[in-house]
Each structure stands twice: as C-alpha cells, then as structure tokens.
Structure 1
Amino acid sequence: MSSLNLDDFSDLIERPDGGVRRDAEERRERLIVPPGALGRLDELGEWLSAAQASVRVKPIERPRVVLFAGDHGVAELGVSARPAGGAHRLVRAVLDGESPVAVLARRAGASVRIVDAGLDCDPELLPDDVVRHRVRRGSGRIDIEDALTREEAEQAVRLGMAIADEEADSGTDLVVLGDLSVGGTTAAATLIAALCGTDASVVTGRGGAHIDDLAWMRKCAAIRDALRRARPVLGDQLDLLATVGGADLAAATGFLLQCAVRHTPVILDGVVSAACALVGQRAAFRAPDWWLAGQVSGEPGQAKALDRMALNPLLDQGVTVGEGTGALLALPLVQAAAALAAELPERASDENTDADADGSDDEKAVVETGNATD
C-alpha cells in the first residue's frame, strides 16, 4: 500500500497572501497611470504581489522552463501524427536548440530543464542529467492496461515534488511548465473527461501535430475505452494517474502541487499541463491560485479543464505545437506586468489633492456670489 495521499496537499497549500494583494490594489490606485489603463497587466501585477508576498512586485529574474518527457503506449494505436516511442527525438531537438521552445527560451532569457519520467528509448541516447530520474520505460496502453503500477505512480509524483523543491531552492522565481510526449494528449484528455464527467468526443482534439480524421476517430475510441477503466478509480487521484495517466503526467502533477506548497508561480502550457493541474485541483482546491494559463491551445480538453479551474488564458495565438511553447510566449507578458508594477511611480501628493482643491474653490465662489446677491 502506498504511503502517499495526494489529499494531504489540501492542508499544505495556502492561497497567495490576500492582505498583500489588497495593499497592492490600493497602491495601484496611486500610480501615475490611471487604473484600468494597463488592462490585464494590472491584474497580473496584483497576482504577482500576492504570490511573492510583497506589495512592490519583484522583477522576474530567474524564470525556468521545466519539461516532463514520456512516451505513452496508447500511441501504438496511431492516435498521434508522431511515431510511437519517438518522444526522445523531441527531447533531442530541445537539447540541440532546434525546437520552438528552445528558440523562445533563449530570447526570453529562460533556462530549460528536461526531466525524463518515462521515455521509451535507450538511456544512452540522451544526457545523464535528463534520463537519471526515469521511473520506467514508457507508460502502458491505457485503453487496455494501466499506465503505471501504483508504486510507479507514487515514484513519479515524488519525482515531480523533488524537482519542484530543487527549483525553489535554487531561486527559480517563475516556472513555465510543458511536456515532451507522444500520446500524452490522449492520456490528458482521458483524465479531463473522467474528472469533468464528460464523454470522449467532448475532449478529443487533434494534438500538436494535427492528426487527420481517421486518427482522430482512433483517438476518440481509445479515450472512450480508457474512460471505462478510469471511472472506477475516480476517488483516488494516485490510482487515477496510475490507471490512465503516465509517468510524465504523474510527475507533472506532483511538481505542480509542490510548487504551490513552495509558493512558486507556474505558467501552464497546453492540454497536458491543464490535465495535471486538474488532478492537482481535485487534491488541493487552493492550488490553482498559484498557476496561470499561458495560452489557448485549441484542444477542447484544455478549455474544459481551464473552465473547471476558473483559469483564463493570457494569450490566444493559435499555437498548437505544445512543448511549453505557448506558455513561454506568455512569459514576457508576465515579466512586463512585474516591471510595471514595480517601477511605475506613484502620483505626487499635490496631484492627489488638486481635484479637492478645485472643488473647494468652486464652492467658495458660489458662497461669495450668494452673499453678494443678498
């Protein structure tokens, strides 16, 4: 029997500091730019104040992209445009600086960390710092078998928790969370459908590689069959991750929950990170207060999950490539909000009283006119 209970996170996670947020809102009223003129940047600045427990927002100086990698056995059914067991190629592209997330990370000044939770490849193909955490080689085919044993699911969740602790201890002040997987969106859609109580067709998208109609039907059928296996274990999040999740999804779930414990803000990417967040919300209802939705991926499952968590995406650029790319696009927006909240000056005190002074002069003139008439 596993010793880990995800429900315990409910007692460990607090919401961002509400008192600090109220003070930040009051300070915002005093800035030289009128309230509302900066649109959603105001809201982001106040959210950062509460997350940092600092009325004057600190700049985002050490952002980190964290990508959990894994292969899913369900990809054997042809539910992805990428070959089954091919996620290591995605990892190699990031390491070689040839993927969209690698290019954008360089531009944004964010370092990238890849964690192999369940790749289906020889470890020698990738650097040791990537593969040394691997829980197992590939995850099971969720339409007919469990993705993981319960012990493996616990190991994966604990792996994610450990990575979150390492990032917090090293000074990471904002995380961009993504995945490098083949078949991961199928597992993610299954988790979302199970937790939202909906049918497979409602959450089945075409993935980052845009599958054709036949592949979409195969994917929908796989999710339908996996849902039958998921529903009996809905009462236990760890069992759910073991049954229809995967090593990378379980690790990302543990990572998100521990980031909330450690007060580390996270920008979510697409449907995979949204599914992990939804599992995390089921375990600890305050946890989503520490997360931002980076962008609209176009996956119906993501929209369903974000709606359930009341998270409103920052961007909608039609980016479907996944791998943390959409969330990374939102990073400059969050950095801009932090800079504006921190550096914009407050209005001078005499500006604050001009209106009152003008009002007093008008009233005085009315009184003098009235006296003259009498």
Structure 2
Amino acid sequence: MNFSVPRVDDALVAALQHKIDRKTKPLGALGLLEKLALQVGRIQNTLSPQLGEAQMLVFAADHGAAKAGVSPFPQDVTWQMVENYLAGGAAINVFARQNKIRLHVIDAGVAHEFGPRDNLIDAKISPTGTRNYLEEPAMSAAERDAALAKGIEIAQRVADSGARVFAFGEMGIGNTAASALITSQLTRTPLIDCIGRGAGLDDRGLEHKRALLQRAAARAALPADADALTVLAEFGGFEIAMIAGAMIGAAQRGGLLLIDGFIVTAALLVAVRLAPEVRDYCVFCHHSAEPGAQAQLKSLAAEPLIDLGLRLGEGTGAALAWPLVQSAAAFLNEMASFESAGVSDKEPRG
C-alpha cells in the first residue's frame, strides 16, 4: 500500500498571514478562526480557499470483545444503528442535514447482512466483525491491510468526485474499549487513564471494563515501541482501520480532514504513525469527554475547536464544528481589509 502523503506547502504562509492581519479587526481578534483560516489556505495552497460541500464518512463494524461486556449495549445495536442512519433518524443525520453535509454510511464489518441499500457502501471485511482480542488478535494482518486499503479507496473515490472536505464518524459497540487500548499503546499512556464509560457504563461496569482491558493488554504483551500496524491488528476494529486508511486517502488528494472524537482520533493516531504528514491536514473539532482524549490531543499537539462534553461519536462533533470551518474560510474570502474598506488602522508606535 502507498501511505505517502504530500507535505502541506508553506509557500503562501506569509501572504495568508498578511491577508488575515489586514482584515478590519484588531490583530488576532478572531482567535482560533484565524489559525483555522491559515490552515485551510495552506492545505489548498491558495489565498482564497473554496470548501464546497463537506462529506461525512461514517464507518460501522462489530467487535468480538463486545460480547465479553466492554459495553453496556448488546452487539445488535451496531446494525440497528446503521439502520437508523439509513432511515435518517440518528443525531448525525440531524446535524448533517442542518449543516448541509453529505452523509456516506460504510459497512466495514457489521455482523449483519443489509443487502443492497441506498446510501450504504458495502465494504465488509468480515461478516462477523473482528475476533475477541481478550483471547487472540482482533484481526489478521491480511484483514487489517484490506481494511486500510478499502478506506484509502473509498476516500479517494469521494475525492475524485470533487470533494475537498472530509469528516469521519463511526459506529461499533465496544469501539471505545478498542480505542482505549490503541491510545494507551500509541501514546504510551497508562491504560487506566485511557478507559472511560463509553456508551454509558455505571461504576460497576467501568471496573469490569478496566479489568477486561488490562487482561487484553497482558495477553498481547506488546512492547512499548510496538508499531501502529501491530497495535491495530491486536486491538482495532475494521471501522477504525478503515477510517485510518480513509484519512490517508483523503490527505493524498489534498483534502481537509475534520476529526471527531475519541474513536476517530484513535484511528488518526494509527494514520499519523503510517503517514506523519496526515497531521497537517487535520482540524480537531471537539474535545471528547472520554478520559483518553487528553492523551490523544497531547500526543497530536491538537487544539480542538469546541468542548461541549460530547461522547456520542458518529461524527457528531465534526458536524457541529463544520460551520466554524466555513466561517474561517468566509472571513478570509469576504471580509474587507483596512485598505479596501477605507478604514484607518491603529497608529504605529515607535
């Protein structure tokens, strides 16, 4: 597979910063929006970036460890929520409609047969999802590589249709547990600090989840410097692997990547290990309420746009942050400069 991603060109950084600074406002007055405008211009290598319609890719798959109790919900909820996405009734459907985001639902390995369906991309790696990582690696190297390759292919196909902005969401009962294991290993953070309540565990359920994940980590016994491909095969889900591939594929086409919460950022940790240049294409949309999110953001030197206490997944944080990204491009393109508006700048001080 080709994981090579082009470096973001810095040729226009000075010109972009000058354009931002000459808008009719005090220097830095738009805060993170100014950094975001600079980033969007750098990625597109233009002083007048055009975003177009954002594309939301929601990947779904089942996890073999789910039946061991790492989630309070039964595994069937994965396929039932996919049906909810297809029917337009989930939170991500609501926010995507509200913000005019095109939604793609991808079956990466759900333990259910949907048959041909409108708005569903069949990319199933296994009809039963991953294996139970408490007992063996979640996926084989061949399955992992197939999921990564399929993610690259899907993102590039969407990009070739004209898309410039990609958001990522996921669904898979048990995938916060898998993400905690991946996050702990790739950020070298104690596992206990990466494990949260996921889809709503009570105190007893949280303790059970912690015990199970400690068992999984002991079973794998990975060295601290284990590579991302090994970590992904041991603990990942097909949706996590496919998202990592899709991030690489979208970045290869020069896309702007809207990064959602804990699970999507776990996939990004993998993607960045495989293709470090991916990091510069990312907009971090929100600060997940999962405790492991702090380790992820620190590892990636990331500054999220919003913090609403979200822990839903599905890409909802990315959908909610999308208007802020649009605002950053809009002020860069449409806001008057001091010169064009005939507005006096502050007096220079010697």
- The answer for the alignment partner of 2:122 in structure 1 is 132
Query: Percent of aligned positions with the same letter in both sequences?
Result: 31
Choose which of 39, 47, 58 in structure 1 pairs with 2:39. Answer: 47
Greater CA drift, 81-90 or 233-242: 233-242
CA distance in 2 between partners of 1:22 and 1:144 (Å)? 54
- 1:1-374 matched pairs, under 5 angstroms: 4=1, 9=3, 12-58=4-50, 60-124=51-115, 127=117, 130=120, 132-137=122-127, 138-207=129-198, 209-228=199-218, 229=220, 231-232=222-223, 235-348=226-339, 355=347
Rg larger in structure: 1
Contact 2:54/2:102 (CA < 8 Å) preserved in 1? yes
Contact 2:104/2:119 (CA < 8 Å) preserved in 1? no
Q: State the Cα distance separating 1:236 from its structure 2 match.
A: 3.5
Kindly report structure 1 stretches of 4+ aligned residues shifted beyond 6 Å. Answer: none
Contact 1:296/1:317 (CA < 8 Å) preserved in 2? yes
Q: What 5-or-longer segments of structure 1 have no aligned partner?
A: 360-374
CA distance in 1 between partners of 2:302 and 2:254 (Å)? 18
TM-score by length of 2: 0.93
Amino acid at match of 2:80: R
CA distance in 2 between partners of 1:224 and 1:318 (Å)? 26
SS in 1 for 2:130: coil
For residues 253-287 of structure 1, what are the alpha-carbon distances to aligned partners after superposition, in whole Å with 9 as ceiling and x for unaligned? 11112222221111111111111111112222222
CA distance in 2 between partners of 1:177 and 1:314 (Å)? 16
Greater CA drift, 195-204 or 335-344: 195-204
Q: State the Cα distance separating 1:197 from its structure 2 match.
A: 1.9
Q: State the Cα distance separating 1:142 from its structure 2 match.
A: 1.1
For residues 35-63 of structure 1, what are the alpha-carbon distances to aligned partners after superposition, in whole Å with 9 as ceiling and x for unaligned? 212121111111100011101222x2210
For residues 104-146 of structure 1, what are the alpha-carbon distances to aligned partners after superposition, in whole Å with 9 as ceiling and x for unaligned? 100100110011111011233x727625210002111112111
SS in 1 for 2:12: helix
Q: Would the alpha carbon gap of residues 30 and 129 (structure 1) be closer, same or farther in structure 2, given more than 3 Å must change?
A: closer
Contact 1:31/1:346 (CA < 8 Å) preserved in 2? yes
Contact 1:194/1:230 (CA < 8 Å) preserved in 2? no
CA distance in 1 between partners of 2:130 and 2:192 (Å)? 23
For residues 209-242 of structure 1, what are the alpha-carbon distances to aligned partners after superposition, in whole Å with 9 as ceiling and x for unaligned? 2111121112212221222316159544223211
Q: State the Cα distance separating 1:149 from its structure 2 match.
A: 1.1
TM-score by length of 1: 0.87
CA distance in 1 between partners of 2:263 and 2:324 (Å)? 22
Q: State the Cα distance separating 1:14 from its structure 2 match.
A: 3.0
For residues 62-111 of structure 1, what are the alpha-carbon distances to aligned partners after superposition, in whole Å with 9 as ceiling and x for unaligned? 10111110111111122212212420111111111111110010010011
SS in 1 for 2:106: strand
Q: State the Cα distance separating 1:34 from its structure 2 match.
A: 2.4
Contact 1:233/1:239 (CA < 8 Å) preserved in 2? no
Amino acid at match of 1:197: R
Contact 2:24/2:343 (CA < 8 Å) preserved in 1? no
Amino acid at match of 1:134: K
- The answer for the alignment partner of 1:365 in structure 2 is none
Aligned length: 346
Q: Would the alpha carbon gap of residues 336 and 166 (structure 1) be closer, same or farther in structure 2, given more than 3 Å must change?
A: same
Q: State the Cα distance separating 1:355 from its structure 2 match.
A: 4.5
Aligned-pair RMSD on alpha carbons? 2.0
